[in-house]
Amino acid sequence: MAIKTVLALSGGLDSATLLYSLHQQGDELYCVNFSYGSKHNAREREQAARLARPLGLSYQEVDLDFFTALIRSHLLKSGGEIPRAGYDKETMAQTVVPGRNGIFMSILAGYAESIGADRIAIANHAGDHFLYPDCRPEWVSAMGLAILLGSEQRVGLHAPFSHLKKSEICRLGSELQVPFAETWSCYVGGETHCGACGTCGDRQHAFKEAGIHDPTIYADYS
C-alpha cells in the first residue's frame, strides 16, 4: 500500500524536487501551498499549481492572513524592503520569518491526522541551517517528536533533504526531470527573478556548483 504523504509545496526548487522524488517513489501525495503574506507568494503559488496539477495530485491552497498581523519579517508585505546583494548575516536575518515552519508543519499534521495520512514532508536543506533555526536538524527532530506525540495516529515528519546542499538537490532534481523553469525562488516577487536578492544568489550558486544548466531568467545576473 502506498505511503500517504502531505507535502508542503512552496513552488520553489527544493519542494519541487521533493515532490518529484516522492511521486516517483509511489507516495500518495496531498500538496498544500501556503500564502502567508510574503512578497513573493503570488509567484510561488502560480508555480506550485503548475507543478502539482500536471501530475494529477491533490493540491490545496491555504491562506494564512494572520502572518502580517502577528509576525515581523522583511519577507512579508507588512515588513521593510528585501535586502539586495553584498549583505551579511544580520541583514539577511531580516528575511527570517519567525515560527514559519512550525506553523506550516503543525497545520499539515492536523490535516494529515484528519485524512489518515502517514506522514508530512518538508524540503528544508543544509543550506538553510545557518540562517533559519526552523530548518536545522535538531529542530526537525524535536518537531517530529511533537507531531508524533500530538497525534493519535502517530503522524511522521519526513525531511529527507535535511543534510543535502542545495546543489545536491539540483542534481537530484535534474535526474528526476524536475521542470526547474517552473519553480520560483526570488524573494522580491517581480515579473522575473531579480538575480540580486539572497535567495536568487543561492539559486544561481547551486546550479553552478552542480554543473547543471540554470533555465531561470534573471533581471540582473551577477
In the complex, which residues of this chain contact a copy of itself (CB under 8 A)? 32, 60, 62-67, 69-73, 93, 96-103, 105-107, 109-111, 113-115, 133-134, 136, 138-139, 142-143, 145-152
Report the nearest approach of a copy of itself to the CB of residue 128 (Å).
Answer: 12
Per the DSSP assignment, residues forming a β-bridge with 54 are none
Comparison of 143 and 172: residue with beta carbon closer to a copy of itself = 143
Report the nearest approach of a copy of itself to the CB of residue 65 (Å).
Answer: 7
Report the nearest approach of a copy of itself to the CB of residue 115 (Å).
Answer: 8
Report the nearest approach of a copy of itself to the CB of residue 28 (Å).
Answer: 17
Comparison of 36 and 184: residue with beta carbon closer to a copy of itself = 36
- For helices 166-175 and 198-210, the axis angle rounded to 10 degrees is 60
CA-wise closest residue to 15 among 139, 163, 136, 183: 183
CA-wise closest residue to 61 among 10, 124, 100: 10
What is the rounded CA–CA span in Å between residue 181 and residue 194? 15
Comparison of 81 and 138: residue with beta carbon closer to a copy of itself = 138
DSSP code of 38?
B
Comparison of 147 and 197: residue with beta carbon closer to a copy of itself = 147
Comparison of 60 and 222: residue with beta carbon closer to a copy of itself = 60
CB 50 within 8 A of CB 182: yes
Q: All 3 cell numbers of residue 27?
A: 507516495
CA-wise closest residue to 73 among 98, 90, 39: 98
Report the nearest approach of a copy of itself to the CB of residue 41 (Å).
Answer: 15
